[in-house]
Structure 1
Amino acid sequence: MAAATVTTKLERRSIDPVPESERHGHPRSLFTLWFAANMQITSAVTGALTVLVGVHPLWAIVAVVLGNALGGIPMALHAAQGPKLGIPQMIQSRAQFGVYGAVLPLVLVVVMYLGYFASGNVLGGQAVAQITHLPADAAIAVYALASALIAIVGYKLIHRFGWVASALSVIVFVYLTIRLVSGHDLGAVLAEPHLDFPKFLLALSLTASWQLTFGPYVADTSRYLPSATSVRSTFWWTYGGTVLGAVWAMSFGALAYAIAGKAFKGHEVAYVVGLGGEALLIPLLFAVTIGKFTVNVLNIYGGYMTVATALTAFSRRAALSQTARVTYIAAVGVLGGVIAILGRGEFLSNFVLFLDFLLYFLTPWSSINLVDFYLVRKETYDLDAVYDPNGRYGRWSGRALIAYVLGIAIQIPFANVEGIFVGPMAPILGGADISWLLGLLVPGALYTVLMRRARTAR
């Protein structure tokens, strides 16, 4: 009875540190959580984009594998920050940028969370609408509400739900993959694999960005693990789950779009569940809905903590009341639901632009955050100062902000966002977009140099 009472309690922690007495679990739970977060319909849509941009299906799958393998490295390196520090991912950015300075990347991450939550509501809402015959807007609202309720219960339920969704997604995707492959001439689809290298690099950047944009989430999902949990274990359990899940789902999406074309675009959920035939329509719709819940909940869960981190920077609050916590979650849920309803018409086209946009701003943050943790401060932080504008991390950190802004600026000449902006170096490279590589390497290196010079000057 006591155990049942504990498991039904709402999570108490928000932006405050998790004490050692409340730490629990094993890093293997990170595998199932991140496998489930990737093994779902939005990943399949991202895989479809690799073919949509003009890459041959076979090379699209190669781009899926390489992009996720590369992007998964910095993503999984963030996992160790959770157990070592016991605080949410983005509040730790105050140690690099200052308590007020961190608001700049925080605002951009809030945009990311809202965008992904909205896109998840569009796809999940498609399934809910087909199951319940609700109007599309009402189905989106139901899906957003259900996601918010799980986030309110909190960390333990999210991990348990991830385990269930992981097991269910394996069963569903094994079946759907067999149906997709056996029902079509795969040899014809993969024949004559010509390589358009600039477009291949674009597909590579799309899939790498999928992993890189998970950076702000990762420590949120590992911060309750015991502080003695090793860096190696958190990295490999996270990396294995996120890369394996994404590669499978994205490869499925690439093949589905190559085979179906317009039948897939704009009707992603209907096409996928239609592979199972009429008899399995409702069970597959339900499975797609449940599978998408994991990452949708992570979006609203991380979103509310990021909003709270930004707003509490000016009030010096180090924790939220239960009422405030629920209010933040509700606000993010409502706003994300409204964005989904207003933007669902051109979902697939808008989504590729959204991914491109995010990459330019998130890779410099991830670069600075990781080198600070592993190389500059070597996993040692003053947690009290994270909440105090007058503490050792101060209000603003000019060094981090300089590295961050220059990290964004150095990408601009190499950027290629189709229909919006093409940097002067992109045509020289045949239209290939390599800006994300510079955004990942340069800011961290510059920040490290600036920090070491500052310490030497003292």
Structure 2
Amino acid sequence: MGRLSRALTKLELPADQQINKWINDDLRPVPPERQTWDALQYAQLWFLVNMNISTYQTGSSMLAAGLSWWQALIAILVGNFLASGFAVLNSFSGATSHLGYPIVSRSVWGMYGAYFPVLNRILLSVVWYGVQAVIGGKMVWICLRAIWLDIDARIPNTLPDNIGITSSQFVGYFIFNVFCCVFIWFKPTQLRPYFHGASVIVVVALFALLGWAIATSRGFGSVIGGESVLSGSKLGWTLCNSIMAVIGSISAGILNQNDYTRFARKTSQATWPQFISFNLSASTIGTIGIFITAATQEQYGNGQALWDLSSLFAAMQDQGGSGARAATFFLAVVFMLSQLSINVPGNVLAGGLDVASVLPKYINLRRGAYILAALSVLPNPWQQLASGSTFLSVLSAYAVFLGPMIGLLCTHFYLIQHRRFHVPDLYDGVKESIYWYNYGVNWRTVVAWVCAVFPSMPGFVSSVNPSLKVSEGWSHVFSLSFVLGFFLAAVLSYGLHLLFPVRYDGTTVLEGLASDTNSGRFEERHVDDKGADVTMTKAAESV
């Protein structure tokens, strides 16, 4: 035990302020001097998040799923409108309190219960980081293929045919991960100029690719004028599923909105600018993906929708000469950089903060990010990109679990807490904390989440494993997973808190947080289990 104790002591994080199992420097409320984000930076945030291949493929994969171009366009526009609305709704709590997602979760789930949504967010980050890394790795593979067209022969495939990746593509995946690990070392503020530059360059590249596709294919061929291969209820539910896929593709960013909006200079600067830039950027890139796929379907896909951008580039290399190989090389470099600009801040750093909240005494954001990157290979992310329909199912699956969590966050902030936090209690794991609930867990939230997730589970299981058949009704429920889960969780949570109110000092939390009678608690001294003062006076005054 002596050696273990010494090893753990060496792993403890250095800090200028008190660290315990509830707090470290990355988890503290953002101080006023760091509340510097304005409207322009939040508008740039969503341009950065959406200017990447996965947003492109969200639209293009809908053609592969059987929708016509205009039906896919409707799904893109409706899905992004709803997603941006949910994002703005969930942004206020961080913008007003300057608290991150792991800390706000404690007010909803309880001090120990908050580990559950945070672990879910970590798992999602692991999976989504891996998927984005595979997409970025395929761009590295395209670069290698532009130099050595016979790279698949040079690196013979020794992997099974049904896993969605070849040995040469795995080399690209490995190289891309090395790039990610280098970027993780730098602070996010140091990388901001690069990320913004990459988002601008990829827009230029996408419009250039669209112009080339239309010019070389002499328009869109029969794809634009053709009808959907689907009809009736099949078409309607595929459209619903596509809309949920659009929301699901960005649901992680909606869930942890607080991690971004906590840096807001003013609340208003973190809300409407996001709504506008989210819709504009995501809808533009998704639409470009639809049109490029439509324009190249006949010439390069032999009638099949090449929804995967790497497949399109490979077909261009096979059918073109040295000029096509040079063009695809530079395009692949641009798109690889765009994948870095979304995967590092959007997945690995955001997930790293969640990892840090689990063991704040030993793990900071950087350490958490490296742990997350190392775990990302375990879910076999390449299998989730096997086909357009599989890709859409993966995106929809995220919505099953995250939709209810977002509903719980919004309901708790607006209706139960009345936009108020007792900040010191969020860092005080004692029974006197109003966020202790029952043994550190808010059972009302747990019940609401389970009940909201359950209706979508049969359809979710069937989408993950198609060999397991479920009734058509369960599949339809799954097609509404995010919206259904959001509102079910919201209604159940509010109802349970009304029926079984949380009591503190003789009053209910609903009454206490809505009034000013408890404001003095912000100035009370709060100590950890070792007697160290962890009162957050400044943060409390800011709310």
Fold match, TM over 0.5?
yes
- Band of TM-score, shorter chain: 0.7 to 0.9
* Structure (1 or 2) with the larger CA radius of gyration: 2
Instruction: State the secondary structure of the residue aligned to 2:271.
Output: helix
Residue 211 in structure 1 maps to residue 250 in structure 2? yes
Q: Please state how far the C-alpha of 1:300 moved relative to its aligned partner.
A: 0.1
Deviation string 1:104-147 (CA, Å, 9 cap, x unpaired) is 22222212111111011111111223335694334323322322
* Counterpart Cα distance in 2 of 1:333 and 1:66: 33
* Counterpart Cα distance in 2 of 1:444 and 1:254: 34
- Which among 401, 404, 422 is matched to residue 364 of structure 1? 404
Match in the other structure for 2:534: none
- Which among 413, 416, 435 is matched to residue 393 of structure 1? 435
Match in the other structure for 1:304: 352
The residue identity in structure 2 corresponding to 1:371 is: T
* Counterpart Cα distance in 2 of 1:422 and 1:191: 35
Matches within 5 A, 1:1-400: 13-132=25-144, 135-184=168-217, 185-186=219-220, 188-194=222-228, 196-226=235-265, 229-230=266-267, 232-258=268-294, 259-260=296-297, 261=301, 265=306, 268-269=309-310, 271-272=312-313, 274=316, 277-297=324-344, 298-309=346-357, 311-312=358-359, 317=360, 324-336=364-376, 338-339=377-378, 342-344=380-382, 347-349=385-387, 350-390=390-430, 391-394=433-436, 395-400=440-445
* Aligned residues of 1:117 and 1:299 also touching (Cα < 8 A): yes
The residue identity in structure 2 corresponding to 1:239 is: F
Q: What is the root-mean-square deviation in Å for CA atoms of aligned residues?
A: 3.0
Instruction: State the secondary structure of the residue aligned to 1:17.
Output: coil
* Aligned residues of 2:78 and 2:243 also touching (Cα < 8 A): yes
* Aligned residues of 2:210 and 2:291 also touching (Cα < 8 A): no
Equivalent pairs, count? 433
Deviation string 1:368-395 (CA, Å, 9 cap, x unpaired) is 1012223322332122222333221111
* Aligned residues of 2:113 and 2:441 also touching (Cα < 8 A): yes
Instruction: State the secondary structure of the residue aligned to 1:280.
Output: helix
Match in the other structure for 1:9: none
Q: Please state how far the C-alpha of 1:256 moved relative to its aligned partner.
A: 3.7
* Aligned residues of 1:411 and 1:436 also touching (Cα < 8 A): no
* Counterpart Cα distance in 1 of 2:184 and 2:447: 35
Match in the other structure for 1:7: none
* Counterpart Cα distance in 2 of 1:428 and 1:92: 33
* Counterpart Cα distance in 1 of 2:185 and 2:406: 27
Pick closer, same or farther for the CA change 1:320–1:235 going to 2, 3 Å. Answer: farther
* Counterpart Cα distance in 2 of 1:346 and 1:447: 33
Instruction: State the secondary structure of the residue aligned to 2:414.
Output: helix
Deviation string 1:311-345 (CA, Å, 9 cap, x unpaired) is 23xxxx4x667xx4432221111222x248x4425
* Aligned residues of 1:36 and 1:162 also touching (Cα < 8 A): yes
Q: Please state how far the C-alpha of 1:362 moved relative to its aligned partner.
A: 0.4
* Counterpart Cα distance in 2 of 1:446 and 1:267: 40
| 395-404 or 257-266, which deviates more | 257-266
Match in the other structure for 1:4: none
Q: Please state how far the C-alpha of 1:439 moved relative to its aligned partner.
A: 0.6
* Aligned residues of 1:365 and 1:404 also touching (Cα < 8 A): yes
The residue identity in structure 2 corresponding to 1:119 is: V
Match in the other structure for 1:433: 479
* Counterpart Cα distance in 1 of 2:26 and 2:92: 19
Unmatched 5+ stretches in structure 1: 1-11
Pick closer, same or farther for the CA change 1:153–1:357 going to 2, 3 Å. Answer: same
* Counterpart Cα distance in 1 of 2:215 and 2:419: 50
Q: Please state how far the C-alpha of 1:220 moved relative to its aligned partner.
A: 1.6
Instruction: State the secondary structure of the residue aligned to 1:410.
Output: helix
Q: Percent identity?
A: 18
Deviation string 1:143-179 (CA, Å, 9 cap, x unpaired) is 2232233334233134433321221122112212222
Instruction: State the secondary structure of the residue aligned to 1:396.
Output: coil
The residue identity in structure 1 corresponding to 2:290 is: A
The residue identity in structure 1 corresponding to 2:199 is: S
* Counterpart Cα distance in 1 of 2:384 and 2:452: 31
* Counterpart Cα distance in 1 of 2:403 and 2:490: 10
Pick closer, same or farther for the CA change 1:152–1:45 going to 2, 3 Å. Answer: same
Pick closer, same or farther for the CA change 1:170–1:402 going to 2, 3 Å. Answer: same
Unmatched 5+ stretches in structure 2: 1-23, 146-150, 152-167, 318-322, 509-543
Match in the other structure for 2:524: none
The higher relative CO (CA closer than 8 Å, separation ≥ 6) is in 1
**Please, what TM-score do these two structures have when normalized by structure 2?**
0.72
Q: Please state how far the C-alpha of 1:78 moved relative to its aligned partner.
A: 2.6
* Aligned residues of 2:408 and 2:493 also touching (Cα < 8 A): yes
* Counterpart Cα distance in 1 of 2:502 and 2:260: 36
Instruction: State the secondary structure of the residue aligned to 1:214.
Output: helix
Pick closer, same or farther for the CA change 1:13–1:291 going to 2, 3 Å. Answer: farther
The residue identity in structure 2 corresponding to 1:426 is: G
Match in the other structure for 1:446: 492
* Aligned residues of 1:41 and 1:269 also touching (Cα < 8 A): no
* Aligned residues of 1:416 and 1:433 also touching (Cα < 8 A): no
Pick closer, same or farther for the CA change 1:161–1:27 going to 2, 3 Å. Answer: farther
* Aligned residues of 1:98 and 1:389 also touching (Cα < 8 A): no
Instruction: State the secondary structure of the residue aligned to 1:197.
Output: helix
* Counterpart Cα distance in 2 of 1:435 and 1:427: 10
